[in-house]
Amino acid sequence: MTPSDDGTTAMSTSYETIGTRTDGNVLYATFSAPPMNLIGPEVVRDLVALLADLSRPAAPRVVVFESADADFFFPHVDMTKVPEYTAEAAKAGGPGDASLGMLFRRLSLLPAVTIAKLRGRARGAGSEFLLACDMRFASREHAVLGQPEVGIGTPPGAGAIQHLTRLLGRGRALEAVLTSSDYDADLAERYGWVNRALPDAELDAFVAEVATRVGGFPREALIAAKSAVNAVSLPSPTEVRADAALFQQLVRAEGVQRRTAELFERGFQTRGTTELTLGPTLATLTPVD
Amino acid sequence: MTPSDDGTTAMSTSYETIGTRTDGNVLYATFSAPPMNLIGPEVVRDLVALLADLSRPAAPRVVVFESADADFFFPHVDMTKVPEYTAEAAKAGGPGDASLGMLFRRLSLLPAVTIAKLRGRARGAGSEFLLACDMRFASREHAVLGQPEVGIGTPPGAGAIQHLTRLLGRGRALEAVLTSSDYDADLAERYGWVNRALPDAELDAFVAEVATRVGGFPREALIAAKSAVNAVSLPSPTEVRADAALFQQLVRAEGVQRRTAELFERGFQTRGTTELTLGPTLATLTPVD
Amino acid sequence: MTPSDDGTTAMSTSYETIGTRTDGNVLYATFSAPPMNLIGPEVVRDLVALLADLSRPAAPRVVVFESADADFFFPHVDMTKVPEYTAEAAKAGGPGDASLGMLFRRLSLLPAVTIAKLRGRARGAGSEFLLACDMRFASREHAVLGQPEVGIGTPPGAGAIQHLTRLLGRGRALEAVLTSSDYDADLAERYGWVNRALPDAELDAFVAEVATRVGGFPREALIAAKSAVNAVSLPSPTEVRADAALFQQLVRAEGVQRRTAELFERGFQTRGTTELTLGPTLATLTPVD
């Protein structure tokens, strides 16, 4: 950590897939992992490093997460590299931490206040990353959320079960998880998946104002208040690990491999119609007996 | 269970008060217990049988519940037959299961995904039936929800306390339960009582699309995801039994008998103004000292 | 308690800062502590007395809380008298009860149904008072809610952490608490902070109708149903005491004293711009390093 010109502390580490910029007490972290921001080993490695940096005493008080890709915040994990990104996630903690779910739980426990600014698609673990942040603001015109896992063949494994059930309630959480549908920002706001949907033209200024405001507040109060809310609302490590274990088991099942293969034939994990409209696409896969 | 023409598995049992129709992996179950779909011994007997059928390995993956009566989904229990329908409910399980609340908890635990399509009134245990389903979609023009129990003299006994508090939060749950008011679909959506209110003209197509979509997804993933959401959100058997015991005790109180008698004098449990507008009607009963 | 002309039971005690009026089974309690309804030792003393009166067997079944001050329901606690009002709060209960949080928890446990009618500002412990009531209805044009504590330097200490997290979910609760922003009635309704926002012109009649309706229902059912909802939704005494202890510790910190002093220089705790627009004002205080 080195002092910057304006007297605040900037992040010294540079990350291959995360651009950073400091403005006062606020760090802007921009995901940029071309071609489409898949959550693979590189992104997870950089998240692990960023979380370590943000855990230092002099770290910025507030972090805003955004994407350099207008279409994809995080489309989902790289399904061809589950063992590799899981191995990177394991570096964040001790035994039992080898999962995105536990990594995201660490994100929720950061002393820094985390704000997600959503444009483009955040599905699967991308949505679960957002759910682990403290607040979520979404572009009314350009945000899409979804948990496509069940449509592929597994339950979500990195926090969606826990967070969506607590935020949306049993009925809407079951709808989101079991239908694997795409949700636009307005519906996500009505359901409580995001704090608010805002007109795209107002989103940047709104989030910057919130971040700057919170960044000027006493650090001790922010940390104590966040910790108290977390004590009421975060799932336990046991719950997070159980979801991760179930995902890691089912993702290897033959049925999942078949459906994933069918998706790849249609352009899965490339910039195209299948990924842009993954929610509707799932309904067109060969139905399972 | 016998295979149907299209290769899927249909329900072999026929039920006196529940019409069934299978479309692919989706069972449409239509309540039809003239003259007004009261939840009495026959309906409960048939629900017990249906749940048993739906618990079989080859059962349909998705069930859509709807009503053949445009005015009444389920108006409430038959107040003249509380011991009789409770005896039927007891057949669903072991000791301690002699309540609608425990029967509805079994419904929530079904491997099948349950979707309620609401037109008409669903009050009391009718609303509680819906709350036990996995998702609820309501006709904007023709749906009414309410928990009239407190206005009659007991707390709700079959799940509303547990589900409404978790879905709506303390303030709105107390409002719904203590005021015993009628809620239309839009307000029910705002409060989280139903997933969504939809224009009546779009409701059937919307629900069919959701059901067909989910019906084409891998059964193992549906079951595992539902089970994980249930683990976070369902009340415990102890909580359900306590609510049931309190209801079964208070429903015999003299005050309840008096208010019920007054309602019967006005046409309770017949198709007419008292039942159509039960919410407002409750405010016109003789106030209790 | 003395019987009134219409046969109902009126409150016999009179309170310096709370005007009371009985209408049937409904008590209207109007806060009037000029110059601006600060929650200081007098208000807390009177709340303690009122809660004791409302715990008597013949107490009114329903209480409507409102403010005689159009601009301020409760602006927040009197920051110059924290030890004094805490000493008054301690008189409500036994050891461990020396906090507004525990006093408000007693409010939530009252057999009477409590309805808050909000016009003007309810911030800090003012908002927490409302959150402890059973229902909250707010004037669309004239209601403001906020938890300014973190902007001053402490977490909220009297229930907001617990109630907002349960009502709004983790993301929106963190937003409300960490940003210390003002929320108008419509946004508060969307977030679940109040049951409903109503046009100011309709608010009185709406609340009176709800109160009268509930007041005519059987007392035993009201008490049993409220108690059952409380069992699912109220924070434990341990949680409430922990929040109170943290507040009482941090409120003495030097940083809090500095920010409070800066607020007093700008007219804090007087009727003026600083209090009317406390949310925006907090962002203009000298930022903390």
Our CA-based measurement puts residue B49 at a distance from the nearest CA of chain A, in whole angstroms, of 24
Q: Which of residues 42-101 of B touch C (CB under 8 A)?
A: none
Residue range C31-59: mean pLDDT, rounded: 96
B5/C154 Cα distance (integer angstroms): 68
pLDDT tier, A4 (very low <50, low <70, confident <90, very high otherwise)? very low
Q: How many CA atoms lie within 13 A of A246 on its CB side?
A: 25
Tell me, yes or no, if B264 comes closer than 8 A to chain A by beta carbon. no
Tell me, yes or no, if C213 comes closer than 8 A to chain B by beta carbon. yes
Which of C6, C194, C217, C223 would you mutate first to test chain B, the one with the most B CBs within 10 A? C217
Give the tens place of pLDDT for each residue, B197-220.
999 999 999 999 999 999 999 999
| pLDDT at site B12 | 56
| pLDDT at site B276 | 98
Q: Give the list of residues 6+ apart from residue A127 with CB closer than 8 angstroms, or none.
A: A145, A146, A147, A160, A193
Q: What is the ipTM of this complex?
A: 0.96
Burial B161-195 (b: 16+ CB within 10 A, else e): bbbbbbbbbbbbbbbbbbbbbbbbbebbbbbbbbb
Give the tens place of pLDDT for each residue, B77-128.
999 999 999 999 999 887 778 999 999 999 999 999 999 999 999 999 999 9
| pLDDT at site B96 | 76
What would the DSSP string read from start to end of B173-227? HHHHHHH--EEEHHHHHHHTSSSEEE-HHHHHHHHHHHHHHHHTS-HHHHHHHHH
Asked whether A248 and A99 are in contact (CB, 8 A), the reply is yes
Asked whether A116 and A70 are in contact (CB, 8 A), the reply is no
B224: amino acid identity, one letter = A
**What are the structure tokens assigned to A215, written together?**
């960044």
Q: What is the mean pLDDT of chain C?
A: 94
How many pairs of residues across B and C have Cβ atoms under 8 Å apart?
109
Our CA-based measurement puts residue B230 at a distance from the nearest CA of chain C, in whole angstroms, of 16
Our CA-based measurement puts residue C218 at a distance from the nearest CA of chain B, in whole angstroms, of 6
C224/B160 Cα distance (integer angstroms): 13
Give the tens place of pLDDT for each residue, A214-269.
999 999 999 999 999 999 999 999 999 999 999 999 999 999 999 999 999 999 99
Q: For residue B288, how far is the Cα from the chain centroid? A: 29
Contact residues, chain A, for C288 at CB < 8 Å:
216-219
**What 3-state DSSP class applies to A182?**
strand
| pLDDT at site C3 | 39
pLDDT tier, C8 (very low <50, low <70, confident <90, very high otherwise)? very low
Contact (CB<8Å) C161/A232: yes
Contact residues, chain C, for A107 at CB < 8 Å:
none
Contact residues, chain C, for B170 at CB < 8 Å:
134, 163, 166-167, 229-230, 233-234
- CATH superfamily of the C2-202+216-282 domain: 2-enoyl-CoA Hydratase; Chain A, domain 1 (3.90.226.10)
Which of B165, B178, B191, B282 would you mutate first to test chain C, the one with the most C CBs within 10 A? B178
Q: Which residue has the higher pLDDT, C137 or A288?
A: C137
Our CA-based measurement puts residue B8 at a distance from the nearest CA of chain C, in whole angstroms, of 41
Show me where the domains of chain A are located.
2-282
Residue range C251-280: mean pLDDT, rounded: 96
Strand-pair category, B9-10 with C26-31: unpaired
* CATH T-level topology, domain A2-282: 2-enoyl-CoA Hydratase; Chain A, domain 1 (3.90.226)
- CATH superfamily of the B2-200+225-282 domain: 2-enoyl-CoA Hydratase; Chain A, domain 1 (3.90.226.10)
Nearest to A229 among C154, C165, C259 (CB): C165
Our CA-based measurement puts residue B218 at a distance from the nearest CA of chain A, in whole angstroms, of 6
Q: Does the pLDDT at position C95 exceed 80?
A: no
pLDDT more than 70, % of chain A: 96
Predicted TM-score (pTM) of the model is 0.96
Other chains touching A, judged by 3 or more CB pairs under 8 Å: B, C
**What are the structure tokens assigned to A14, written together?**
């540079």
Rg (CA), chain A: 18
Our CA-based measurement puts residue A135 at a distance from the nearest CA of chain C, in whole angstroms, of 5
Give the Å distances, CA to CA, from C257 to A289, C76, C154, C207, C279.
67, 16, 11, 40, 18
Q: For residue B31, how far is the Cα from the chain centroid? A: 11
User: In chain A, which ranges are E strands?
Assistant: 2-3, 9-10, 18-23, 26-31, 62-67, 72-74, 113-123, 135-146, 182-184, 196-198
Q: Give the list of residues 6+ apart from residue A59 with CB closer than 8 angstroms, or none.
A: A1, A9, A11, A27, A53, A111, A112
Dihedral Cα B94, B97, B98, B103, nearest 10 deg = -120
Contact (CB<8Å) B178/C216: no
Contact (CB<8Å) A229/C170: yes
B76/B281 Cα distance (integer angstroms): 15
Kindly give the interhelix angle for C41-54 and C100-109, rounded to the nearest 10 degrees.
30
Is the peptide bond preceding residue B35 cis, with omega within 30 degrees of 0? yes
Q: Does the pLDDT at position B245 exceed 50?
A: yes
pLDDT more than 90, % of chain B: 90
Strand-pair category, C135-146 with C196-198: parallel
pLDDT tier, B130 (very low <50, low <70, confident <90, very high otherwise)? very high
**What 3-state DSSP class applies to B88?**
helix
